[in-house]
A and B are shown apart, each in its own frame.
Chain A
Amino acid sequence: MDTVILLTLTGLGLAALYFLVASGLSLVFGLADVLNFAHGLFLGFGAYATWWAAGNLPGAGSDGFGFVVAVAFGVAAGTLMAVLVELVLIRPLYSRTIEQVLVTVGLSLAGVALLQATWGADARPFPRPEWTRQVTTILGAQVPNGGLLLIVAAALVLGAILAFLRWTRYGLIIRAGVENREMVTALGIDVRKAFTLVFAIGGAAAALAGALGSVYFGTVSPQQGGSLLIFAFIVVVIGGMGSVVGSAYAAVAVGLLQQFVNYYGTSGLGDICVVALLAVVLLLRPQGIAGKVATA
């Protein structure tokens, strides 16, 4: 029983990480039709910015409020980078899918190379609060606090995004734009501002995933974003392009499946099962769990 609870909670921790990356990716694709292969770079950039801030930024540190400041700095850096990427590189290429893919793949490779050139290719220990190194006993299972932190953060982000989509004018524009972008412009709305906004939201969530994921794993490395991005794409497709709630459901399914199969089967079998799940969803429900709806 302890094992099941432990696997469930660590699976949910993994799901939280996937959700933080996938939510922005899904909104960006749903609204702007941009398949952003550079999204993982926002994660890596956020993680390294947090790592740097914890050691160098006045007021920031590796524990207590200082760590909150470091994470806030990392999230701000990821958000800024996402906004710059949208404004400078993506905006001139809307509706030019091939060019977008080339640019975002190129940016992703260049970004990883830049991180390697600056801080080296090897993983570095990540400064993390003492509490996150400990475990909490839940129904007899010893659950790492880093995983619980991820679950709480993802739940808060999910709530915040849903509230934003439900209660704000820009949220309304995004929900409508995911359904029919052209009609939004035909109502007199400059939808490009919403594009920038979803990139900012996606960048912030990915950077938060980078910071808290590094806390969970205990290290930060330049390749971190790329490896998580693959599963985030799978989550987006299973959940339904443009659906935040769909991404949340899909992330939970993928995280739990991976964790349980890797434990009860052999290591690595979980990843194969995730790909099989993707294939089944594509065959039975190609639009994903929620279809193309920015659910609020």
Chain B
Amino acid sequence: MTVEPVLTVEDLSVRIAGLHILQGVSFTVAPTGVTVLLGRNGVGKTTTLRAVVGLTPRNGEAGGTVRMGGQTLLSQPTHRLVRGGLGYVPEDRCVFAGLTVAENLRLAERRGSTPAYDRVFALFPELDRRARQRAGSLSGGQQQMLAIGRVLLNDNRLLLVDEPTKGLAPKVVTEVAEVLERVAEAVPVLLVEQNLAVVRRLARDAVVLAAGKVAWTGDAQELLRETELTRSLLGVGSAEVHH
């Protein structure tokens, strides 16, 4: 029996300021678990996520086809895609520093659906305790919790999570990975991640980008077992792969 993917990306091309960042990227995201998007710096991982959620900058253009269920995404504005069940956790968290934790969460509430504060506070009790604190004064790890908490406030069909462990202390990286593992039990995740230990723990499928194209797709654990392949695709040493 063929399992229908939750997201299908076909021939996705993105040009920004005259540069051809993505050159016909195609892949699918399984309806369960974590699919990880890998590649060296600057290959277009973040650009891919942003194109899917409709955030290609004004000086750029995106072409190709992106489908979630029967819905075509590229032609729609970001707010409509998100309301349709596409949750996005951006690189560098992007919490609203001048707003309190409670206000950051309140902003993510969607009209017509009951916000799942219980779910968010069960995963991140710290957010409940720090509700009145300005988000800008939280630690990096706490800000990441808030960024993930914002998307978990609503029921989503797919989460796009961009480098959630970037710049975090090792202990916090483990906490974030644990949370994402639990989240992925309920909703599929397309994850951009550089930390291969986190990838090893979370990812089932992998898509590797190189120079704006898909260089490899398949089982993530299999990729990590193939040291030479990992080294050639990601440019990392064997110590990092087996860490």
Contact = CB atoms under 8 A, between A and B. Distances in A.
B90 A175 contact: no
A228 B110 CA distance: 41
Contacts of B55: 182, 185-186
Interface stretch (B101-109, B120-128, B215-223): B101-109
A183 B94 contact: yes
Contacts of A191: 79
A187 interface: yes
A188 B90 contact: no
B150 interface: yes
Interface string B87-104: 010100010111100010
Contacts of A175: 96, 98-99, 103
Question: What is the interface residue range for chain A against chain B?
Answer: 20 to 34
Interface of A: 95, 169, 172-173, 175-176, 179-180, 182-191, 293-295
6 contacts: A169-B106, A175-B99, A184-B107, A188-B154, A190-B80, A191-B79
B96 A183 contact: yes
A293 B107 contact: no
Contacts of A179: 96-99
Contacts of B98: 175, 179, 293-295
Interface string B144-158: 000000100010000
Dominant secondary structure of chain A at its interface with chain B: helix
Contact of B58 (A95, A187, A189, A293): A95
A189 B82 CA distance: 9
B78 interface: yes
Contacts of B58: 95
Contacts of B90: 183, 186
Interface of B: 53, 55, 58, 77-80, 82-83, 88, 90, 94, 96-99, 103, 106-108, 110, 150, 154
Given A173-B107, A186-B55, A188-B110, A180 B94 contact: yes
B103 A187 contact: no
Nearest to B83: A188
Contact of B103 (A95, A172, A182, A190): A172
Contacts of A294: 98
A189 B79 contact: yes
Contacts of B77: 185, 190
A175 B103 CA distance: 10
A189 B78 CA distance: 9
Contact of B99 (A176, A182, A186, A190): A176
A185 B53 CA distance: 10
Closest 9 CB pairs of A and B: A188-B82, A95-B58, A185-B78, A188-B83, A183-B94, A176-B96, A190-B79, A185-B79, A187-B108
A293 B103 CA distance: 15
Nearest to A189: B79
A172 B82 CA distance: 19
B61 to A, nearest CB: 14
Contact of A176 (B82, B107, B154): B107
A188 to B, nearest CB: 4
A293 B55 CA distance: 23
Of listed B88, B98, B108, B154, residue having the most chain A CB within 10 A: B98
A153 B53 CA distance: 44
Q: Most chain-A CB neighbours within 10 Å: which of B58, B79, B80, B110?
A: B79
B82 A186 contact: yes
Contact of A188 (B79, B99, B103, B106): B79
A260 B172 CA distance: 57
Nearest to A94: B58
Nearest to A295: B98
Contacts of B103: 172, 175-176
Contacts of B80: 190
Contact of A186 (B88, B97, B154): B88
A26 to B, nearest CB: 15
Nearest to B81: A188
B53 A186 contact: yes
B95 to A, nearest CB: 8
Contacts of A189: 79, 107
